């Protein structure tokens, strides 16, 4: 590839990080809306105070915060941990291979969120807007 491609890729990398964060968070949030709000309809909605219900609350609230880019690093770290926990509790006991146990999305979410926890939210975020304004007294 040409040096011009790499220069363009470097220039747009922060923007693409923001797009990755927003898209991943919105798709992730849909899992929470299904469990908590019943949209789209869930065939077997969990009880709110069950393990699945608490996970739904984390997915709904954490997904919304991450989509907005507010408190992105700690929220992404929490969501990454939730997905690691979900994989080992719900998927790994079914089969060793992620493609057979249905856990490939959980693994992918786990590492995307872990990356965001370390890389930050990108420029299209409320966190970036707050940082540009500086400290408020």
Render pLDDT for 16-61 as a digit per residue (tens, 0 to 9): 999 999 999 999 999 999 999 999 998 888 999 999 999 999 999 9
Residues 6+ apart with CB under 8 A from 132: none
Report the distance separating Cα 90 and Cα 55, nearest Å: 12
Report the distance separating Cα 110 and Cα 87, nearest Å: 9
| Residue 136 banded pLDDT, cuts 50, 70, 90 | low
Render pLDDT for 99-126 as a digit per residue (tens, 0 to 9): 999 999 999 999 999 999 999 999 999 9
Residue 42 half-sphere exposure, CB side, CA atoms within 13 Å? 17
How are the residues of the chain apportioned to helix, strand and coil, as percentages rounded to the nearest 5? 75, 0, 25
* pLDDT over 80 (residue 137): no
Does the pTM of the predicted model rise above 0.75?
yes
CA distances to 2, 53, 58, 111 from 33, rounded to whole Å, are: 44, 11, 10, 22
């Amino acid at each position: 590839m040409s040096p011009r491609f790499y220069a363009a890729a470097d220039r747009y990398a922060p923007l693409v990080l923001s797009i990755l964060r927003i898209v991943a968070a919105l798709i992730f949030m849909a899992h929470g809306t299904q469990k908590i709000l019943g949209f789209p309809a869930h065939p077997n909605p969990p009880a709110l105070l069950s393990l699945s219900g608490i996970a739904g609350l984390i997915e709904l609230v954490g997904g919304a915060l991450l989509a907005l880019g507010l408190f992105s690093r700690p929220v992404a770290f929490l969501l990454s941990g939730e997905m690691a926990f979900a994989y080992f509790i719900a998927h790994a006991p079914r089969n060793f291979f992620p493609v057979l146990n249905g856990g490939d999305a959980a693994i992918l979410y786990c590492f995307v969120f872990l990356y965001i926890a370390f890389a930050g939210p990108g420029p299209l975020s409320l966190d970036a807007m707050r940082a540009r304004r500086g400290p408020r007294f």
